[in-house]
Structure formats: C-alpha cells, structure tokens
A and B are shown apart, each in its own frame.
Chain A
Amino acid sequence: MTRPDDVYPDDMEPQRPDDFEQLLDSQVAGAASEYEPADLTADFIQQAYAVLRDVGPPAPARELNEFIGVSTSTAAGAAVGTLLSVETMVFDDERKSGMLATLIAAAATTGGKILVGAAAVFAVAGGAQATGVVDFTAADESVQVATVQAATVQVATQPDIPGDEVLGEILVNVDGAGSVVLLVEDGALRSVSVVIEDGWTALEEENDGEVFVVFTNVSGDEVVVTAVIEDDLVRVKTRGFNTDVESFFSVSGEPVDGVDDDDDGVDDDDDGVDDDDDGVGDDDGVGDED
C-alpha cells in the first residue's frame, strides 16, 4: 500500500550512497565511525544512540501487579515476604530437575540491593561463611583485575537439611552486577544464592553439573559466570566486556592457585614459576633445572 507521504521529490532521485545513512548503519552495527568528532550530526547520532539505550524502565504501574509476582518496592517488609515466595520458586520441582532455567528477578531490600534465591532468605536471617571468594570487576571495562583470596566473608547460613554434607561455599562477586554463591554438596555443584544489583537481572541455569548465571543490565551489557567440577576442582569462569577470568577451588571451597588445566605438560600461568615440580622449566626460556 502506498501512503501519501511515502513519496517525496527526493525519492525520485536515483539511489546513491548517503554518508549519513552509512553512519547510522555503522552505528547500529556497532562499527567505528569514520567521521571526525567535529562532524556535529555524526556526534549527535552517536550520542543519541547512547542516550536512548540508557533510558531505564518506569516504575511498574499498579495494573501490572497482576502479572509481576515480585514487588519492586524497596520496602523492607515487602522484601522479606517476597524473598520467601522466591524461595518457594527456586526450590520447586523444576529447579530440582536441574534442567529448566530459573529466572531470578527483583526483590529489593532496604540496602538497595536485590536479593533473590533461597540463600537470600538465609542472609536476612543470619550469617555463615564462604571460604572461597572471587572478585570480578564488571562495571569498568578498562579494569581487568580479578583476585582469588582465601577470605572469609559473611554470606549466608546454610540450609538445615539433615543428611546434606555442606563442605564450603564459593562467593563469586561480580562488582557492579551482583554475586553468586556456589556450593559443592554431595559431590554436586549448585548455586545457593544470586544477589543482583539495581539495574541488573540474572538468569540462572544448572545443567549436567554445570552452573551458569548470566547478569544482564538494561543496556544489554552481559556478564556470564560459569562453574563446573573438573578433576575434583571447582572451575569458575567469569566473562564480561573484554575481561575473562578463570579461578579454581577445591570442593571444600578453598581457592587453588596456579592450576594447569589442560594436561598439556605446560605451565600456563606465565608467572615465571614452574608449578609442577617435574624438573621441567616454564616455557619462558628460563628453566628451573637443567
């Protein structure tokens, strides 16, 4: 169907490359612009692109309460009630099957953080200790620092389930986005809580012994945490922006450093120290024993 405003005199001109169309196309495609910053129109398009993507959602209207089961209120009282309902969801039959993704969404606390998941309820109630900690900086892509430390952090009390052998927890802290607490229980790895910062959502999935949690914000930024037990070690990989960090823990939650995971006989950690004590030096040209 042709509408009256579909055809303008300009449209009668033959199609030809248009500089600004190319700019828009390249902006949408994420490619770098070939225009100088002084080009004001190009500058506006680039800034509009960023500004429009920064627009956050409005407060949900009351009519949406019928659908949105979790309150986004910051009232503490509402938070506790919400967390209890979330706990029920997290441990429903689907979660136990370990196959279907568990959606983690909002339940705000007075502290401004959103606590979701069963352990979040325990975190409200009291404290316990995580033995392994991963700090991952997601907010600034120029920062590529991750630390693994044998710190003791108050995270959550353990679920009091008779017969469960709780050995230790691993806290994966994704700065700016949230955190994940992992636990090895009866030889199986699972996440016991996911904490989400304002402006982020998280999708958690457990599949064939692998746990992964994807943090996403309204701008589409994504940080992915994956964890799996390999060779009696918990391998935790955190990936976001240009940063990719891998850490290892024992099943009791203790951090393990300098793991060469690929069985290729080469010490990979490039720290100048031959870790394997096998009489063969690192591949940096300096052997530890000749």
Chain B
Amino acid sequence: MDRHAGIVDGVEDAFEAVLLRAARGDGLAFEHIFHCYAGRIRAFALARGAQDADAITNDVMLRVFQNLGLFEGNEQAFVRWIFTVTRNRLIDAHRAEQRRPIVADTEVPERHERSAESVAFDRVSIDDVAQRLGQLTVDQREVIALRLIHDLSLKDVAEIVDRPITAVKALQRRGLRSLQRRILDEGVS
C-alpha cells in the first residue's frame, strides 16, 4: 500500500480546509497562505521588473485576503487567481510609474553587464535573472516568468494574461529566441 498517496490526497484536502478557515477569518490560515504564495508573487514581480516588489506583494496579498470569501475553486484555480491579481497590480504600478514626471539626471545607473561565461559558471542571482528577462518585452517576460515560477501550463498562463494559448506560445517562442540571441551576442563580443 502506498501510504504516501493517501497523504498527498490529504494535503490537497487540507488546502481546501485552509481556504475555508481563512474565509472564516482564521489568522493562522492567512499566515499559511502568505507563507506559501508571497515568495512566488514577489518572484513574479521582480522578474517582471517591478520597482517595489515587496510593496506589490503585500498589496496583492491584502487584496487576496480581502476577497478570499468570494473565491471558489481548487488550488490550481487559486494559483491562477493570485497571479492574475498580481499581474493586474503590476500593470497598475507600471502605469503609475509612467505618469510620474521624468527628472533629468536621475537615470538609474547602468548595471554591470555580466559576461555570458560568468552567467554560465556562477549561480545567478535574482537581479541577474530580472536583468536578463528585462531585455525582453514585458509580454514575453511575464509569460516566461510565469512558466518558470510555478510550473504553470500554457493554458494556465493564457488564462492569467488573458490571451489565446497560441499567442502565449508565440510570446514564449519569441522570448526564448531573443534570450538566445542576446546571450550569444554577448558571448561573441
């Protein structure tokens, strides 16, 4: 008998129990949800180029907690929901940043570009990943980041970014080709 199989089933049931308890205002359930998902949300925000990923993560968690009673579905649906909320919040933040007046002489210092070889042989940091993904368009970047961060399928990503699967596949393909091109170019130079 595979006892572990039963346990895994129990954990899935437990996720629903967590949601139920959180919907009833259980602080520990909220804490559990924060601990499980806030890191992934923050990673998505960083990968998508957010300037204040921590604030956005907290804001997303606040929105999720405030609306948890309205949510219905399983864990996968919950994941899609929180990443959709995150993406919407990131779009709002990006628009707000664009509305801010640009002040001369306050350009962000250019980051030190790591050579392709150093990227290959050293463990990259989250800044390196964000910088590299930042070379892509926002749409390409978020598709690739979502696929990497939470094992999301193309279908899940399509739902989160509100696009057809074919468009998501195209964004992924273009993004990966662009990454390859830039990395090879840096290697040659």
Cβ-based interface call for A205 (8 A) = yes
Q: Could you tell me if A70 and B28 are in contact, using CB atoms closer than 8 angstroms?
A: yes
For the residues of A in contact with B, the DSSP-based class is: mixed
Between-chain CB contacts (< 8 Å), 23 pairs: A6-B170, A21-B169, A24-B144, A28-B151, A38-B120, A44-B124, A45-B148, A47-B129, A48-B129, A48-B132, A52-B145, A52-B148, A53-B40, A56-B42, A57-B35, A60-B34, A64-B65, A67-B22, A67-B65, A69-B31, A103-B31, A105-B32, A212-B7
Contacts of A201 in B (CB 8 A): 32, 35-36
Q: Could you tell me if B62 and A48 are in contact, using CB atoms closer than 8 angstroms?
A: no
Contacts of A76 in B (CB 8 A): none
Contacts of A51 in B (CB 8 A): 123-126, 128-129
Cβ-based interface call for B91 (8 A) = no
- Assembled-state Cα–Cα distance A51/B47 (Å): 10
- B residues 116-148 near A (Cβ < 8 Å) are 116, 119-120, 123-126, 128-129, 132-133, 137, 139, 144-145, 147-148
Cβ-based interface call for A224 (8 A) = yes
- Assembled-state Cα–Cα distance A63/B64 (Å): 13
Cβ-based interface call for A203 (8 A) = yes
Q: Could you tell me if B62 and A55 are in contact, using CB atoms closer than 8 angstroms?
A: no
Q: A5-B139, A24-B147, A52-B43 are in contact. List 12 more A-B contacts (CB 8 A).
A: A21-B176, A23-B176, A24-B148, A41-B180, A44-B120, A52-B145, A64-B62, A103-B18, A103-B21, A106-B35, A201-B35, A203-B14
Cβ-based interface call for B82 (8 A) = no
Q: Could you tell me if B173 and A214 are in contact, using CB atoms closer than 8 angstroms?
A: no
Known A55-B39, A60-B34, A64-B65; contact A24-B172, beta-carbon cutoff 8 A? yes
The contact string, 1 if C-beta is below 8 Å from chain A, for chain B 159-188, is 000011001011011101101100110010
- State the Cβ distance, B145 to closest chain A Cβ, in Å: 7
Q: Could you tell me if A105 and B57 are in contact, using CB atoms closer than 8 angstroms?
A: no
- Assembled-state Cα–Cα distance A89/B139 (Å): 45
Interface residues on B, range: 35 or more
- State the Cβ distance, B18 to closest chain A Cβ, in Å: 6
Q: Could you tell me if B35 and A55 are in contact, using CB atoms closer than 8 angstroms?
A: no
Known A24-B176, A201-B35, A214-B11; contact A49-B119, beta-carbon cutoff 8 A? no
Q: Could you tell me if B170 and A8 are in contact, using CB atoms closer than 8 angstroms?
A: yes
Contacts of B133 in A (CB 8 A): 48
Contacts of A30 in B (CB 8 A): 151
Q: Could you tell me if B124 and A224 are in contact, using CB atoms closer than 8 angstroms?
A: no
- Assembled-state Cα–Cα distance A192/B183 (Å): 54
The contact string, 1 if C-beta is below 8 Å from chain A, for chain B 8-40, is 001101100110011001111111101110111
Q: Which residue of A lies closest to B162 (CB)?
A: A1
Known A61-B58, A69-B30; contact A55-B120, beta-carbon cutoff 8 A? no
Cβ-based interface call for B77 (8 A) = no
- State the Cβ distance, B129 to closest chain A Cβ, in Å: 5
Contacts of A91 in B (CB 8 A): none
Q: Could you tell me if A21 and B172 are in contact, using CB atoms closer than 8 angstroms?
A: yes
Q: Could you tell me if A69 and B28 are in contact, using CB atoms closer than 8 angstroms?
A: yes
Q: Could you tell me if B123 and A8 are in contact, using CB atoms closer than 8 angstroms?
A: no
